[in-house]
Amino acid sequence: MVYKQRLDGRKDDELRPMEAKAGVIPNADGSASFKIGKTWAIAAVYGPRELYPRFLQDPQKGVLRCHYGMMPFSGSGERIRPGNSRRAQEIAMVMTKSLEPVVDLSSFPNAVVDVFVDLPQTDAGTRCAAISAASIALADAGIPMKDMICSVAVGKVDTKIVADLTYKEEQIHEFNPESHDATVADIPVAMIHNTKELTLLQLDGDITKEGLLQALELAKGATEKIYQLQKKALKEKFLMGEKQL
């Protein structure tokens, strides 16, 4: 039996309902909250500030450092052990690598910009939500950036190419008995908005070359929606104040 209707009734290219806000943490130099469906990421940016230990300093340019963490209660009931794990370390690394191409820290030698992202609730697509949130937070912090990074997961469930998979879709054989032998591919993608260059491309699962190309084409439209939301969130922070007083 093929997977015809998506589990939550969305169209193939439709993203879950999204919400974004800039400047949610007053203490931080820049911050953002980004929700997509049940996945919720909060990002805070500190810096540029002094970097210690000193051997980490780079005299050519500032260093970008990311932190990723799922909160203990963020899963589906089972407590998530807080602190670093192999998974968190990997995601922090891919976040840094996907943001670095646009962030310009050449005027901050020996300094560091810290990006902390924590997720109070998760339902797949956390690294994408984390990157989208981090991008808003970095812009809010006034860090020079060439462009925004928009990130979303695309993939294939059975024969369908879809955008923004949920946890149930990733584990379709468990939740939909009819598709017990379906193959799933989950492809988190991050894109530089203007040039459509990819800064993150991972793949988990099975997909053909044609399927991958189709999925990446779908990602262009999907990241555009993320971009519009990021733009709105950043501008709203300042337009809100205009109405008061």
Partner 1 sequence: MSIVVNERDIVIPGEALAEGLDFLPGDNTYRENEKIYSKVLGLVSIAGRVLKITPLSGPYIFKPGDKIIGEVIDILMSGWRIKTGTAYTAMLSMQDASSRFIRKDEDLSRILAVGDYVVVKVTKVTSQNLIDVTMKEPGLHKVNGGRIIKINSQKVPRVIGKKGSMISLIKAHTNCDITVGQNGLIWLRGTPEGEQLAAEAIKIIEQKSHQEGLTEKMEQFLVSRTGKKIENYMPEESSE
* Residues in touch with partner 1 (CB under 8 A): 29-30, 47-51, 59, 62, 102, 104, 107-112, 139-148, 192-194, 230-231, 234-235, 238-239, 241-242, 244-245
Residue 141 Cβ vs partner 1, minimum distance, rounded to whole Å: 6
User: Which lies closer to partner 1 via its Cβ, residue 37 or residue 62?
Assistant: 62
Residue 193 Cβ vs partner 1, minimum distance, rounded to whole Å: 6
DSSP 34-47: EEETTEEEEEEEEE
| Tokens of residue 9, six digits | 């009734």
Residue 49 Cβ vs partner 1, minimum distance, rounded to whole Å: 5
Nearest to 141 by CA among 62, 194, 216, 73: 62
- Please state, in angstroms and rounded to a whole number, the distance separating the CA atoms of residues 101 and 146: 8
Residue 89 Cβ vs partner 1, minimum distance, rounded to whole Å: 25
Residue 50 Cβ vs partner 1, minimum distance, rounded to whole Å: 5
- Please state, in angstroms and rounded to a whole number, the distance separating the CA atoms of residues 15 and 82: 29
User: Which lies closer to partner 1 via its Cβ, residue 92 or residue 139?
Assistant: 139
Residue 78 Cβ vs partner 1, minimum distance, rounded to whole Å: 38
Residue 170 Cβ vs partner 1, minimum distance, rounded to whole Å: 31
Are residues 131 and 91 in contact, defined by beta-carbon separation less than 8 angstroms? no
Are residues 166 and 123 in contact, defined by beta-carbon separation less than 8 angstroms? yes
> Amino acid letter at 153?
A
Are residues 103 and 143 in contact, defined by beta-carbon separation less than 8 angstroms? yes
| Tokens of residue 161, six digits | 């190419």
Nearest to 199 by CA among 88, 47, 93: 93
User: Which lies closer to partner 1 via its Cβ, residue 177 or residue 241?
Assistant: 241
User: Which lies closer to partner 1 via its Cβ, residue 180 or residue 235?
Assistant: 235
Q: How many CB atoms lie within 10 A of CB 141?
A: 23
User: Which lies closer to partner 1 via its Cβ, residue 36 or residue 139?
Assistant: 139
User: Which lies closer to partner 1 via its Cβ, residue 88 or residue 111?
Assistant: 111
| Tokens of residue 162, six digits | 């879809």
Are residues 150 and 191 in contact, defined by beta-carbon separation less than 8 angstroms? yes
User: Which lies closer to partner 1 via its Cβ, residue 102 or residue 162?
Assistant: 102
